[in-house]
Structure formats: structure tokens, C-alpha cells
A and B are shown apart, each in its own frame.
Chain A
Amino acid sequence: MLAGAALLAPVTQAAALTDEALRLTTDPAQNEYRRIHVEVQHRSGPDTRSYQIWFASQPFDRVADAELHSTLVIGDTEGLNRTAPAFDTQDCWTAGQPVHRTKDDIPVLAPDILEWSCSLSGVMPGVDQWIAVLPVDADGRGLSPLLPIRARTDVPDQRPPPPDTLPITLTLASIVLSAIVLLLYLRRRDILSGRAQTSRAYLYLAPALIGLTALTFYPVAYGVWLAFTDADQSQLGEENWIGLGNFATVLLSPGIVRVTLFTLVWTLVNVTAHVALGLLLAYTLTQPGIRGRTLYRTILLLPWAIPGYISVLAWNGMLQPDGLINAILGTATDFTATPLAARISVILVNIWLGIPFMMMVLSGALQAISTEMFEAAELDGISGWNQFAYLTLPNLKGTLVPVSLLGFIWTFNTFNTIYLMTRGNPYVGFGEPGATDTLVTYVFSVAFDYGRYGVAAAWSVAVFLLLLAFSYLYVKRSGVMEVAR
């Protein structure tokens, strides 16, 4: 800390006697980054009203060639305090104490002050500077010649160290190495078991596997690790292991049951509607005798062809009180104002977005079913509904089950629709997820609105485990793997 005690310290660098009355010196030991420390000894005369500090990057003998750095006023200090405002620093001292300041933050020296020091901010580092102190009278006239001294600060800037990438590099290297070792082991096993012809296959597999492990497994593993730390936005790179603390926070979060239930409702309603309407449209469009089939398919594909965020923003506009929907209905309802209306709105928009994909996939699957079966059924007098229930659906199972599973996972993880339409709002409680928040949008909010990376990672792990369990049960119960085999 700079202190007045150092006022008379020996001058160790460029210093000069300006005249008999004013002595200006500098002490490089007290310099800081972009600051030069100067010390002044002067007995102010009766005409001296203030001191002006001038500086320039070259020698000067008139103020026109220099820049005014600061001004210290000489006057009565009674009633003034010595505290600088928050956005300022105390730059000048006398007798070991900060100088007094006016309400407008102008430093004031009592007339009897003979010695004072200042830490001059705003000077360029590593460059010679010329500094002069000029006593001036009430009219701003200089009372002594300008005799600048040369000074410079070479104190380096303090910068954060570059991020330590060694742990990331080592982790990635060990992941890649593990993948290579795994491939070598499998190749050796094949050779030993007499399947030498497959050995090259591992070479072809290697780039994809290494890429996958590095780009997919590492972020996932990092996310899982974060879930056990206190990582948050305010202390990046300094996280500590806290065990299951974040999972406890997740389980005790207000609104956890509500947001989980809404996520399930959101997912089930969407997937059911996607599959049902997609299948209906696909089935209709594969029926013989439909004219303009290609045109219908093209039109029905539009929601999928347009970038999702544009569609969502368009719907958001249409659902506004001044939007198209209200204009058609002749109302002025805000469809995203109340929790129920907002939930219905986001679900309907997402259904609209998801139908084309299901329709296209199921159209392909329907066209792959042999027509001979249906011709035989016709001959046997089986009705259209029974044909659908007992021929079409069982033959679609191999497609329906994985597509529904994919749909479930995608819809569960949908972010754009809700974020762009409502941002999870309306609010329904303090510190709780919004009425239209799903687990995924809420995780985003926890991570990037609240900056709680560790807690958000714990939420993500919970979502991952939930989806993993669902997928396992769904695949096992549906028997789709048996169908596939």
C-alpha cells in the first residue's frame, strides 16, 4: 500500500529539482501497472490556489505540449472526508493519510501541507513519461517554470494464467488410447479364434470409434464428473468434489414433481400425436386412388423442411393477442399467458412440428409391406379395419417401435419449441420451474441463468438415467429386438 511514510525515501530513479521551492521526485519501487508514484515537496505561497500535474511522452516546457493529468486544490479541509467514491481510487496522500476530497471528488490540500505524494494513473507502461507539477494561482496562471522529470513504470500487467488444458489432454489421450487398445484386443482375439479375415475391419473402424469416443464420450464423462462437484459460474476452474450433494439439491428442488410430470405429459402427448397423426396421414397417402399424392406429401413436409426456430417464432407471433389466430377467432386472447393455455399451446405447436417426420418414416414402412397379403385378405373377405389391425400394424412394428423410441427421446429432450415460445413461463412460483418448463429447459435455466453448473449436470445425469431406464424397458417389453432378429 502506498503511504506517506515513504515520502522522503531516497530517489532511486530519474529525479530532478524543479526549483528551490518545488521538489518533484519519483520512487519506482512504488510504481504499479499504469501508475507512476511521485512525491512533491513545496511550500505554497499566498497566491497558490492549486497544483496541476501535467504529463507527456516527450519533454515539454509549456502546457500546450502536455496533457493535464489531475488537479489538487489548496483550501480549507474542514468538513471534508478522505474517502474516494467506489469507482475511484485514492490517488494522493499526505502524512500517511489520503488527502481530503470535495463532494465532487476533487482532492484538497490544506495550505500548510508541505509534502504530498500521488500515484499517477493512466500512464502508458514501458514508455518514458515526462511529468511536471505546476502551482497555479486563482486565474490558472503558473507560478513556477515547468520542469518535468522523466519517469516510467515497467510493472507488468497481471493476467490470469492460461487455462490448464493438461487434464483435458490427458483424459482425451487416455480415451483414445483405450479405444485403440480395445480394437487391438478384439483383432487379436479374432486372429486367435481363426477369423483372420476380419482383422482389417478394425482398422476401418478405428477412425470412427476414436472420433466417437473423443467427441461423445468425453463430454458425457465430463458432465457426469461435474455433477459431483460444486462447479458454478462464479468460480470456473476451481470446482471441488462434493459427492452426492447436487443430487440431493435436485431431489429437494421445489417443483421437481410438477416439472417431471409435465415433461412426461409433454412427451407422451406429443409422441402419441406424432405417431397417430403421422400414421393416419401416411396410411391415407399410400391408399390407391389418391390424386395429387406428391403435392400433399410436399405440403405436409413443409413444417419439417422449414427450420424449426422459424416455425416456432411464426407460431409464437400467430398466438399473440394481435396475432393471426386471434384475428381469425375474433378474440384477443393471450395463448401463452396462463399456465394451462401456455402448456396446450406449446404442445400443439410441437405436434405440428413433429408429424412430418413420422409421416415420412411410416410412409416408407407402409410401402415396404407386401401387397400380396392385402390381396389375400381381400379374397378372404377381411374388412379394412381388420386388415389394418391385424396386417398393417404387426408389419409396422419393426419400424414403429424404434421410431417411437427415438421420438420419445427427441421429444423429451426438445428445447427449441419451449424456449422460443415461452422460455418456460408463465411463472408459477419463486425459484421453481415455469409452467411450461420441461426438465431439459429447466436444466438450461439452472446452468445458464443461475450459473449452477454442478446442479445442472446432476439434473442432466438424472434425465439421462430416466431415459436410459425407459429405453431399456420399452425395448425389452416391445420385443422389437426379437422382431429385428
Chain B
Amino acid sequence: MAGNCFAAPMSHKAILFGALLLLAFSPLPADERPSLVTVEAWHTFGVDSLEERLFVEAVDRFMADNPDIRVDVVRIPFLQNIQQFINAAQAGEAPDLIRLSATELGKVGHVSVEGFPLLEDLRPHLTPMQKARYLRPALAGMSYGASLYALPASQSCMTLLYNRDVFDAAGYLYPNAEWQTEDFLRAATALTTDDVAGIALPVKWSYWFIPFIAAAGGTLFDADGHPALDSAGTAEAMQWVLDLERTHGVTGATNSIEAMSTRFQTGRAAMVIDGAWNWDRYAESGIPLGQSLLPYDGATGKRMAPMIDYFGWSVAKQSPVKAAAAKLALWLTSRAVQADFALGTYSLPTLVELIDDPTLTGHPVLGGFIEQAGFAMSVPATRASAMLFEQLDTALALTHDGTLTARAALRAADRELAKMLAW
């Protein structure tokens, strides 16, 4: 009995030894070959969205063309990407590539771990010819200080959308590029009924307030790019926007973005200021959509300028495979990929060769947004810019409820911003 028991383990040992030898000398599987580098890419596209599908297809094409690079795609919730990225970087586990907006760059640009920034300055990774392919404002939008922290992949801005049925029913002419802000207000007033708002607008949200600033001659930044909210024009614009709700009653009760979209989507708003990202949502609801440039102010001669936001691909400073990650970023911002995204999702391109491409400028949806982008306001990717929205929101809220005048609220916002920047 004992002898049998002893003999069995011996034969097992021999088998085990043989197996280990085989394993040791067997060729490594493809994924573990030393020459294969793996790039982890974080994106923020919606689950099963067209954006995600196009992105994954682009990554697959990249891997087919670069068999020595494997890309691991990870989806991160849009609102959590910055915090998750900072946490990962703090733990030394940052992804190699991450999709960020210019506004988010402002939030992450000043963050450092052990004295190093979180993102790689991409300037050494590009040749001047590669750099020259991007629109200069897009490169500026993806720069933080002197560093180019992302390659711009797309840009977005809002324009004026309208429901043709509502205009037709009232016998009112559609909005057009010659419209002034007074025409806009007249139409909104004329088209407002018990059920329908002339313009669904969340008046207390800074992102929707910003377009009105430029038209009134106001600014958000001084000549050096520093935030300067307190100006007569900005105060005037604030008063004008809030009066749309308080005095003219043309906005409906749309104090949230979702309420605004739902109202327009359900045919209970004549106009809305919105981006291309919601076009399909409205179109699929059967709304006969029209699109026009935002109006200009007759007194100042300046057109309303929505904020333009850039989205791009950043390489983490911690990445051990920066050259491969930068190569992937170049591909994801290439003409082929940007054109697919533009035509599929109506995101605006950031390449010089695409922005004037007749296929895009003549596109029934994209064309209008590209034209509007020509009048849009770029916000520099700075820490101050990232903090600006909350202060502007607070100023709008306090002016809306009558706690402060517009001018006093903007002055207080500037003071608070200066205080926060001193932290």
C-alpha cells in the first residue's frame, strides 16, 4: 500500500517536470511576444453608440495596419473620466491614451504626480508637417500653457435649430442668417403659446448663456486669455437672456438641459439652441428640423458666438509606450477617421484639409454647424477656464433670483475666480 502510494507521486512528478519543460521551450503566444506593445485607450463614447462603433472600427483598422501594436479599449463614464484618470495616475496605472475635451484639459493640466504632469507634451512626437494638418485654433484649444496635451479629433458647437411645423402653423418666416436678436425675440414671442415655448432655453446654464455674450459686446477673457467676466456687455447679455424668461416668458419652464431637449423633441418649442449631438434625437422624433446661424445684435453688429469645445486624444506621461500611443492618436485624428466621424455623428473635423471639404461643407447637417463654428468662441484650456463655468452659473442664479444685479454678480464671480486660482 505504502509502496503504491509512493510510486504514484513519483510518476506525477515526472509528468509535471516534462510539462514544465515543454512550457518553458514552447513558443510564446502572439500576445506575449516581446515585440508586441499594448496600448490601453480610454474613451467616453456612449454604450453601443455610433461613436463607439466608429471608434472601435478605427482601432481595429489601426491594429490590422500595425500588427506589432495591440489596443485595449476601455469605456469610462463621461462625467468620471477626469477623476478616474487622476486616480489611476496617482496609483501609477494611468492608461496610455485618453480622450479629453479642451475644458477637461483645463482641469487636468495643472495636476501633477510626484512633480510630473499627467499628460505628455505631444510636440516632440509630431513633425511640423503633421502639426500643420490641424487647424491652429484646435491645436491652441488642446494646449495647456506651452504644452500640446492632445491631438484634436473633433470640435463641437451649438447653432439655432427650429421646428418648421411651428413656424408654418403661425405663418412665420423661418430664421435666417440675417436675423438680428430683436427678430429672434419677436419670433419667440409670437410663437409662444400655452403649450409651446418660443425658445426652449435653460437660462441659468452658463453654456447656453455664453452665445449671447459676444453679440452684446461682452467677453469672458481679457486680451491675455485671463478670465474677465465683469464687463458691461456681459452684464447686458445676462440681463437680456434672463429677461427672456422673466419679462417675456418665452422660454417655457426649461431650467434643465433635459427639460429643454424634451420640450423641443415633443414639439413644444419653436426653437432651441443646441448641438449636432442631439440632431438625430430630434429628427427621429419626427420634428421637421430647420437650422440657421445664430442671430446677430443689430446695435453691436456682432453675431451670437457659441462656445466651441475641442475633443482630442492625450498620451499619459506615465505611458511606457508613448511612441505607439502617439501613433494611435495620429491615426484617430487622421483624415480617414475624422471623415467617418463627421459624416456619421456630425462631429466637426479639426483638419485643415477637411474643414473646407465640399462633402462636409455641403452636408445638410454638418454644413450649418461648420458655418456656425466660424463665429464660435474658443475657450482656452486653462485652469481658470475650467473653473469659470461654476462662477458664471452662480452669477446667473443670483441674478435670476434677484439677489444681485448682473453687474454685481459678475464682479463677485471675478473675485471668487481670483480667490480659487490663488489656492
Contacts and interface: CB of A to CB of B under 8 A. Distances in A.
A366 to B, nearest CB: 43
A86 B143 contact: yes
B140 A86 contact: yes
B110 A87 contact: no
Contacts of A371: none
B90 A430 contact: no
A321 B142 CA distance: 38
Contact of A427 (B89, B115, B398): B398
Interface string A59-78: 00000000111110000000
A321 B112 CA distance: 43
A1 to B, nearest CB: 14
Contacts of B401: 338, 426
Contact of B127 (A121, A125, A235, A430): A121
A236 B113 contact: yes
Contacts of B54: none
B364 interface: no
Count class of interface residues, chain A: 35 or more
A317 B262 CA distance: 11
A163 interface: yes
Contact of A450 (B90, B124, B130, B423): B423
Interface string A319-339: 011100000000011101110
Interface string A74-89: 0000000000011111
B136 interface: yes
A236 B142 CA distance: 23
Contacts of B113: 160, 163, 236-237
A422 to B, nearest CB: 10
Contacts of B2: none
Contact of B394 (A32, A427, A450): A427
Interface in A423-470: 425-431, 448-452
B253 A334 contact: yes
Contacts of A235: 112
B274 to A, nearest CB: 16
A250 to B, nearest CB: 14
A297 interface: no
A250 B265 CA distance: 45
A431 B416 contact: yes
A23 interface: no
B92 interface: yes
B255 A337 contact: yes
A70 B111 contact: no
Interface residues of B, number: 63
B322 to A, nearest CB: 6
A124 interface: yes
Contact of A321 (B139, B259, B266): B259
Nearest to A249: B423
Given A160-B116, A427-B393, A320 B256 contact: yes
B253 A333 contact: yes
B142 A431 contact: no
A139 to B, nearest CB: 19
Contacts of B110: 233-234
Nearest to B321: A157
Contacts of B252: 321, 332
A430 B128 contact: no
Interface string A397-433: 0000000000000000000000000000111111100
Contacts of A322: 253, 259, 262-263, 266, 268
A238 interface: yes
B318 A426 contact: no
Among A69, A163, A450, chain B packs the most CB atoms within 10 A around the CB of A163
Contacts of A32: 124
Contact of B125 (A34, A233, A450): A34
A120 B259 CA distance: 53
Given A87-B143, A159-B317, A233-B86, A426 B397 contact: yes
A235 B89 CA distance: 12
A352 interface: no
Contacts of B59: none
A238 B114 contact: yes
Given A89-B123, A430-B416, A450-B423, A236 B90 contact: yes
Interface in A299-347: 317, 320-322, 332-334, 336-338
Nearest to A452: B423
Contacts of A430: 391, 394, 412-413, 415-416
B111 A87 contact: no
B190 to A, nearest CB: 20
Interface in A224-253: 232-238
A428 B255 CA distance: 16
Contacts of A425: 397
B335 interface: no
A258 to B, nearest CB: 14
Nearest to B121: A89
Interface in B378-406: 390-391, 393-394, 397-398, 401, 403
Contact of B140 (A33, A87, A317, A431): A87
A54 B11 CA distance: 65
B413 A87 contact: no
Given A70-B129, A86-B145, A163 B123 contact: no
A397 B320 CA distance: 61
Given A237-B114, A427-B397, A122 B143 contact: no
B126 interface: yes
A115 interface: no
B419 interface: yes
B146 interface: yes
B1 interface: no
B285 interface: no
Interface string B168-203: 000000000000000000000000000000000000
Contacts of A164: 114
A452 to B, nearest CB: 7
A194 interface: no
A69 to B, nearest CB: 5
Contacts of A91: 128
A412 to B, nearest CB: 24
B124 A320 contact: no
B258 interface: yes
A448 B66 CA distance: 38
Contact of B255 (A122, A334, A449): A334
B300 interface: no
Contacts of A428: 397-398, 403
A122 B263 contact: no
B420 A450 contact: yes
B30 interface: no
Nearest to A320: B259
Nearest to B130: A122
Given A159-B320, A163-B92, A322-B259, A69 B127 contact: yes
10 contacts: A87-B123, A122-B125, A159-B320, A162-B92, A236-B86, A334-B256, A337-B255, A428-B397, A429-B394, A430-B391
User: 4 closest Cβ contacts across the A-B interface?
Assistant: A321-B253, A122-B127, A160-B116, A430-B416
Given A87-B143, A431-B419, A451-B111, 7 more contacts: A35-B124, A89-B123, A163-B91, A163-B113, A236-B113, A428-B398, A449-B390
Interface of A: 32-35, 67-71, 85-89, 91, 105, 120-122, 124-125, 157, 159-164, 232-238, 317, 320-322, 332-334, 336-338, 425-431, 448-452
